[in-house]
Structure 1
Amino acid sequence: MAHIAIIIAPKDFRDEEYFEPKKELEMAGHTTITASIVIGTIQGSRGKTTTAQIRIHDITPNNYDAILLVGGSGSYVYDDDAELHHVLKQFADTNKYITAICHAPVILAKAGVLVGKNATVFSGDIPALLSHDVHFLDQPVVTDGFIITANGPSSATAFGRVVATALASE
């Protein structure tokens, strides 16, 4: 099965957008590891905690089959993060799955990996996608090739299932 790196903010990631997809992926037999710009215990915006085991710079397409970016108010820290953008471009260049939920598709757009692609995003971030030549679709979960996006916490479980299914078919 697949190995997925889940990227969370160093604080205030959206709990449901982390825990629900992680659960779906692991129930499907996939392996996950949590990464951030810091290692250690991190608290989500709704009070749950998890542990980031690796740093973002430790993620390469050679070691992981997919990358999943979690949204939430803390995820804005990655909008202009050159290190994460570099990792995302590596995944895009090697046709590995790049997945993101809520605000996180904006990070993909700013990294340049969504140009000309169909995607969805949290409603307040639609202008940011459009300004980066992304085709916005008003759907809970959107798949375009190796890119899977979701629009927010209410779509977290469905997002996890779509990602798990896509990875199982590889």
Structure 2
Amino acid sequence: MASKRILMLVGDFVEDYEAMVPLQILQMVGHQVDTASPDKEAGSHVVTAIHDFEGQQTYSEKRGHNFAITVSFDEVTPDNYDGLVIPGGRSPEFLQLNERVLDIVRHFADGAKPMAVTCHGPYLLTAAGVVSGKRCQAYPSLRPELERAGAIWDPPSTGLDSVCVDGNLVTAPAWPANPAWMREFLRILEQ
């Protein structure tokens, strides 16, 4: 497999496992992954959150780690990337308010470049207006948002560890799906 250059969009309180594990998987197979966040410079970091499933009606949240930012957001040139990763957690709630983030998402969607989006990451897809007619998964609470935006809800078949592929878009409901999510993303990166 030829090495690809991947952009990962993150923000404070990105879900720890949904950022760190994909980063390590992609690096392990030889891809270059640049991590970027609005208002952050290369060498800085965002704070992660760890979401866990402990038997309550929804996930619990704990403080995670410092996650390194490797490229200054203002220097991101979408044309230089072969794929995009959008982890979930809390960060998509405010990343969706940044018009430049949405322009980056539109660039990948319009160019049919591979995109891996999980958990609450589809907030960026709906805000960018790129999900209509696409089959998607996400954290279950995003279903109404996705359907209002014209997406086709693809219900997770095996809990939170499933994956949905629709063309260049690979979506998953949460970090338990990381193996399937990254397997399918790697598959479409090779095409």
Aligned to 1:109: 126
Query: 1: distance between equivalents of 2:183 and 2:66?
Result: 22
> Could you tell me whether the CA contact under 8 Å between 1:120 and 1:138 is conserved in 2?
yes
Matched positions, count: 168
Query: 2: distance between equivalents of 1:138 and 1:41?
Result: 34
Identify which range, 19-28 or 144-153, moves more after superposition.
19-28
> Could you tell me whether the CA contact under 8 Å between 2:45 and 2:68 is conserved in 1?
yes
Pair 1:2-2:4 in alignment: yes
Aligned to 1:163: 185
- Pick 1 or 2: higher relative contact order, CA cutoff 8 A, min separation 6: 1
CA RMSD of the aligned region, Å?
1.5
Query: 1: distance between equivalents of 2:26 and 2:9?
Result: 14
> Could you tell me whether the CA contact under 8 Å between 1:35 and 1:55 is conserved in 2?
yes
Q: Which runs of 4+ in 1 moved over 6 A?
A: none
Query: 1: distance between equivalents of 2:92 and 2:45?
Result: 16
Give the AA of the match of 2:13. Answer: D
- Over 3 Å counting, the alpha-carbon distance change for 1:62 and 1:125 in structure 2 is same
Percent identity between matched residues is: 25
Give the AA of the match of 1:162. Answer: E
Q: Deviations over 1:64-107 (max 9, x none)?
A: 00111111022211123211111111122222112211000121
> Could you tell me whether the CA contact under 8 Å between 1:14 and 1:73 is conserved in 2?
yes
Aligned to 2:91: 74
Query: 2: distance between equivalents of 1:128 and 1:112?
Result: 12
Q: Deviations over 1:27-71 (max 9, x none)?
A: 222111111111212220132222112244433332100111111
Larger Rg: 2
SS where residue 54 of structure 1 aligns?
coil
Tell me the TM-score normalized by structure 1: 0.91
Cα deviation, residue 7, structure 1? 0.8
Give the AA of the match of 1:17. Answer: E
Tell me the TM-score normalized by structure 2: 0.82
Query: 1: distance between equivalents of 2:178 and 2:106?
Result: 24
Aligned to 2:28: 27
Identify which range, 99-108 or 88-97, moves more after superposition.
88-97
Aligned to 2:15: 14
